[in-house]
Structure 1
Amino acid sequence: MTGQGQSPAASGPVWPPFVLLGIGAGCISALQPLLLDLLRQSDKLDVAAMGLAATAEAAGMAIATTLAALRLPLAGLRTKAVLALAAMVLANAGTVFAGAEAVVVLRFVNGAGSGILLWLLVGMLSRSDAPARIFAIYVTAQSVLALALSQAIAALVAPAFGHAGAYGLLVLLNLAMLVAVPRLADGFAGADAGSMGLPGPRALLVLLAMAAFLAGIMGLWVYLLPLLAASGHDAATAGMAVPVGIAGQIAGGLLAVFLASRLGAVTAWVCGIVLALAAIVLLVGAAGTLPMLLGAGLFGLVWIFVPPFQMPAVLGVDPTGRGAMLVGTAQLSGTVIGPLAAAPLVARLGVSAVSGLAAAWLALSLLMLMAARFGHRTFERTSS
């Protein structure tokens, strides 16, 4: 990996500061059920508006990541990182005081800042000699941080300080992330390289399947606590599902590391869809606390287990790499579409409808994946 304009501190491995910034930027998605429910309890958001806020944050990430990839050179990275973190600090601090409409706007701003930091991470990974290993470290560490934050917020911060304490903790996290900025490589060789263009139809189908998969995951996840309440679980029991789900994410990341060179990309993806459907049944269809928590853990596991296999799935039908350049956009678009599609459904039919919608997204992902695979012998490949 070649850097340009690095400080002396960056003479060691280039990837750690990029991963640290990516971890801090990416862990918020896992915390959304807890954070948005705190805003609901404080009467800043109703249940339908929770979906809009989640959509705005994910849209900010997707738009910023995509526009940065298309328009911004991978140069002056320290300045870009500082500006992104400043936007996140202002957005998280403002959420404490803002009303419902302003909260949605501020979550978009926070998402945009996070998207820039994730773009920096993707730029580094695209130039790394070991992207799979670094990505595995990233997703696992991100899940560990999300678990620690969810436990701290649920057990200590929220009972004492409510939503103000939770978002104040995010402000402190954003400020702590500034420590990584001086160690960033300030640019990379080939920073002015343009877009590679659009991939072929098979790769586009795989990218759409990717978006549908994450739409199903995120469309349910942001409504997890009210969904469990509607299924008959009390608040204390339902609250256990978020840390259990995040613990499942850690397990999913570790499992992906272990199976990356042993399991084909499509096989892993299909197995993940089947397990996600089983998790939905356990979450909303099985009686008792234990099946519900098992479903939450399984759902979190699948969420993190499948995405590492999606890049090799695209490369299996498009070895030119054009489709691979759009993986981040497809994944983030799915996190936008899921809550966006769920919000009006919740308003009309109630929160219980999100489980059926999530299952439909997952089934659509499977259908598109199989359509892309049909007649293409080289599609199945490992991620190593």
Structure 2
Amino acid sequence: MSRQNIVAALSIGSIALLMVGLQPILLGAMVDTRHASLQGVGIIAMSEIVALGIGVVLGDALLPIGRLRVITLLAALVISGLDVLTARLTGDTPLAAIRAAAGLGEGVLVWVATCVIVRSRAADRLAGIFLTVQTLAQAGVATVFARAVIAYGGWQGGFDMLGALALLPCVLLLRLPTTLKPLSHHASQPFAWSVTSAMPLLIAFVQMAALGSLWAYLEPIGQHAGLDAQAAQTAVSAVLFMQVVGGIVSAAAVRYVDNMLTLIVGAFVLALIPTGMLLLPSGHIASFIALCGVFGFAWLFLMPFHIGLALRLDRSGRVATLTPGVQLLGTAFGPLVSSLVVKGDDAGPVPFVTLGFAVGSIVVATAAQMLRRRSARVPGTLEKSNAH
């Protein structure tokens, strides 16, 4: 992959994921103008994120890797049209349906970016860079939207502008590779799922569910811990800042640290964060914000290791290509489970949900490590699992 190929892929993937960072602003404006209900906003947001993950999976299953440019063009045009159409709709059900359709297209663009990333020389490191770039892009565009676009054009103007940004991949696609080849000679053999090859996806899903379950209710959890509105905003800012730091550190470290060991340690860290929030006495604002900082760091730090582990256990790259979609599905599934334990305005039980997912990820990651060691002791077993 040339540098131009990589830059184009990272840019296309970041544009596809812009709406994830813009959801609080655009959907909040919908509620303020009564074009969507407060209850419906959660469904609208989740439908797009779930569709994003499904779009990545469907792209891997149905689309030819030799037609990336045509696929990118069609997906970008469809997304742009759906963004503009969103600005003309009202009501929870129509908005949820149209954003789910847009999410499928956005997932296809993420799949395009992932196809290029996993074929680069340092795919796991590039995954960390991709996560950092997309986070910075979301933060930057969200700031512009909040202070300029929505201030003058409302949420409708925001979606019109988002539709214009969605057309940028139509230009960037000229820098994508004209054709992609299988990652290795193993890819010429029929792909078959095994317990070993599925483990990276299961670890990614459970860990991202733990992170998503807490992030969706971080502000009310902070209020439950005694934070006022300003302190709650500071906690959110700490998470976003430490996400960027975590992505940068991960991009530098992922090539030198064992993937499985890191994910096991990360699972224990994910368990300690909600435990600390549950045990922390009310009013300890600095300690709560510190836990939020660790939470944000762990979020983007762990994600490249999911792809690194997938590439290590499956050299064909099939599992690694699916990993971003599974990460998104886990991020959406966590808040769904958390919503089942929330009563009224009380989000106090949510950390227990996060702790449950974290403990689950410890079990899954430890089991995966045991399977890998057992395979390594049996001559040829690991090679066969990688070939599959």
TM-score range, shorter chain: 0.7 to 0.9
In the TM superposition, what are the counterparts of 1:209-224 in structure 2 within 5 Å? 209-224=203-218
Q: 1:376 aligns with which of 372, 377, 385?
A: 372
Letter in 2 for 1:330: V
Partner of 1:7: none
Partner of 2:44: 53
Letter in 1 for 2:244: I
Distance (Å, rounded) in 2 between the aligned partners of 1:78 and 1:262? 34
8 Å Cα contact 1:249/1:304 also seen in 2:
yes
What is the Cα deviation at residue 120 of structure 1?
A: 0.6
Partner of 1:100: 92
Deviations 1:313-370 (A, max 9, x none): 3455556656445423432331232233334444678544433212211221111111
Q: 1:259 aligns with which of 247, 253, 258?
A: 253
170-179 or 76-85, which moves further after superposition? 170-179
Distance (Å, rounded) in 1 between the aligned partners of 2:219 and 2:161? 21
Letter in 1 for 2:120: S
Q: Which runs of 5+ in 2 are unaligned?
A: 377-388
What is the Cα deviation at residue 95 of structure 1?
A: 3.6
8 Å Cα contact 1:198/1:323 also seen in 2:
no
Distance (Å, rounded) in 2 between the aligned partners of 1:229 and 1:76? 50
C-alpha change, 1:13 and 1:89, in structure 2 (3 Å) is closer
136-145 or 83-92, which moves further after superposition? 83-92
Partner of 1:88: 79
C-alpha change, 1:132 and 1:47, in structure 2 (3 Å) is same
The number of residues matched between the two structures is 370
Query: Given the two structures, how large is their TM-score scaled by the length of structure 1?
Result: 0.81
Deviations 1:171-221 (A, max 9, x none): 343234443133223432459x88953332233244212211111212332
8 Å Cα contact 2:196/2:372 also seen in 1:
no
What is the Cα deviation at residue 82 of structure 1?
A: 2.4
Distance (Å, rounded) in 2 between the aligned partners of 1:16 and 1:212? 30
Distance (Å, rounded) in 1 between the aligned partners of 2:158 and 2:231? 20
Partner of 2:16: 25
C-alpha change, 1:364 and 1:22, in structure 2 (3 Å) is same
Q: Which runs of 5+ in 1 are unaligned?
A: 2-10
8 Å Cα contact 1:373/1:379 also seen in 2:
no
Distance (Å, rounded) in 1 between the aligned partners of 2:287 and 2:108? 38
Partner of 1:65: 56
Deviations 1:285-322 (A, max 9, x none): 56354444433332222111001112333455556656
8 Å Cα contact 1:68/1:119 also seen in 2:
yes
Deviations 1:110-152 (A, max 9, x none): 2111111111112112332332343232112112112223333
Distance (Å, rounded) in 2 between the aligned partners of 1:283 and 1:49? 29
Distance (Å, rounded) in 2 between the aligned partners of 1:152 and 1:379? 51
**1:247 matched to 2:241:** yes
161-170 or 243-252, which moves further after superposition? 161-170
**1:198 matched to 2:192:** yes
Distance (Å, rounded) in 1 between the aligned partners of 2:17 and 2:193? 27
In the TM superposition, what are the counterparts of 1:1-384 in structure 2 within 5 Å? 1=1, 13-46=4-37, 48-96=39-87, 97-157=89-149, 163-189=155-181, 196-229=190-223, 231-280=225-274, 285=280, 287=283, 289-315=285-311, 317=313, 323-346=319-342, 350-374=346-370, 376-377=372-373
Deviations 1:261-294 (A, max 9, x none): 3322123223323333444456675635444443
SS in 2 for 1:175: coil
Q: Percent identity of the aligned residues?
A: 24
Distance (Å, rounded) in 2 between the aligned partners of 1:291 and 1:156? 35
8 Å Cα contact 1:32/1:222 also seen in 2:
no
159-168 or 70-79, which moves further after superposition? 159-168
Distance (Å, rounded) in 1 between the aligned partners of 2:276 and 2:143? 23
Letter in 2 for 1:210: A
Deviations 1:213-237 (A, max 9, x none): 1112123323434544555544454
